[in-house]
Amino acid sequence: MSRNGIGIKTAQVRSQRVVGQIHVYDGAGKGKSQAALGVVLRSIGLGIHSRNDTRVLLLRFLKGPGRAYDEDGAIKALQQGFPHLIDQVRTGRAEFFGPDEITRFDRLEAQRGWDIAKGAIASGLYSVIVLDELNPVLDLGLLPVDEVVSVLQSKLEEIEIIATGRGAPQKLLDIADLHSEMRPHHHPTAEMQGIAGIEIYTGAGKGKSTSALGKALQAIGRGISQDNSHRVLIMQWLKGGSGYTEDAAIAALQQTYPNLVDHQRCGRDAIVWRGQQQELDYVEAERGWEIARVAIASGLYKTIILDELNPTVDLELLPIEPIMQALLRKPRDTEIIITGRCHNPPAYFDLAEVHSEVYCHKHYANSGVELKSGVDF
């Protein structure tokens, strides 16, 4: 994806990096663990599509097995179909606790998780290792920061490491190749009018589309394990063509659960620059919106992902008012997730119950590092 302007460079054939990077997602806003789950979805899709050595470890601190999580059903389904592609480990309590409530069990569970992480990093078995909620574990003093930083720095070159959660220590941020901070924004209009179920992820940092894909994974899991009527639509603008690794994982879930998830892409397989829009860009944007508009009004879907809608509007490929009206009239139990950067925030931002700005502190692409399939697209 382009790091300049609003244009989105789609997944054309391109050179890509081999060296793995260290990602840190922190901040008070929503979307950190979701972004990690989005990368998990992409990495599994890469393994399904290319049958290479891709394997993912999803290691989750502070999220013990005593509680069910929405994404579990979808991850279990992917594990059943592709057991060689993903392992999941949960450690810790099933409820939140503060620094004054730490027990011996918490320390033992943090150490258990870290021992698993160290073994996985040293093994060379995994191409992607997600250390979900590692940041607050370090912030709570449950693990020694210096040891964690030392192990991560000495990882095998090709391993991608993703650490999430609030309170990332500075020593971890210092060694990160990518640091995205999720900053929350509050909209009084949505609160005063009782508008619920609209989430927006915007900003210059990495984590917007991946947060939406993570949300989709959670919603699909909810449909598998909790509510068979929980149908999901993933609608993506400015991302036409092929080469997106999440497609294979979504298609695998569709094959097993055809009534739970629909997936549509629109747009050219090319970058769309401001001031250089083509007629086809307008046609494709309208085609995508017509699908989305009907889906929102139908009440058929409980979760609707509108990926890259923000830059589509910012490029003036779609008018704002019909989107406003569709969001205002959506069924109350339908969740809508909107993503993408934009120079001029559209009026529908005021309707957001959740709005995370993904602030870019560091991005390896800004240092000339190539993007990577299964992680970035």
Collect all residues with Cβ–Cβ distance below 8 Å to 218 and sequence separation of at least 6. 34, 37, 69, 70, 71, 74
What does the pLDDT average to over 258-262?
Answer: 94
Q: What's the confidence (pLDDT) of residue 270?
A: 80
Helix (H) / strand (E) element for 49: namely helix 32-50
Closest CA to 231 of 166, 298, 300, 176: 300
72-84 pLDDT per residue, tens: 999 999 999 999 9
Collect all residues with Cβ–Cβ distance below 8 Å to 23 and sequence separation of at least 6. 39, 160, 161, 162, 163, 176, 177, 178, 179, 180, 206
CA dist 15 → 12, 66, 284 (Å): 10, 44, 27
214-234 pLDDT per residue, tens: 999 999 999 998 888 899 999
pTM of this prediction exceeds 0.75 = yes
Radius of gyration of the chain (CA): 20
DSSP annotation string for 115-159: HHHHHHHHH---SEEEEETHHHHHHTTSS-HHHHHHHHHTS-TT-
What does the pLDDT average to over 262-271?
Answer: 91
Residues facing 303 on adjacent strands? 232, 335
Whether the predicted pLDDT of 3 surpasses 50: no
Quickly tell me which residue has 């789609």 as its tokens. 10
Q: What's the confidence (pLDDT) of residue 113?
A: 98
Residues facing 180 on adjacent strands? 25, 360
Q: Cα dihedral sign for 110, 116, 119, 125?
A: negative
Token pair listed for 262? 């629909």
Q: Cα dihedral sign for 120, 371, 232, 340?
A: positive
Whether the predicted pLDDT of 53 surpasses 80: no
Whether the predicted pLDDT of 326 surpasses 90: yes
Q: What percent of the chain has pLDDT over 70?
A: 95
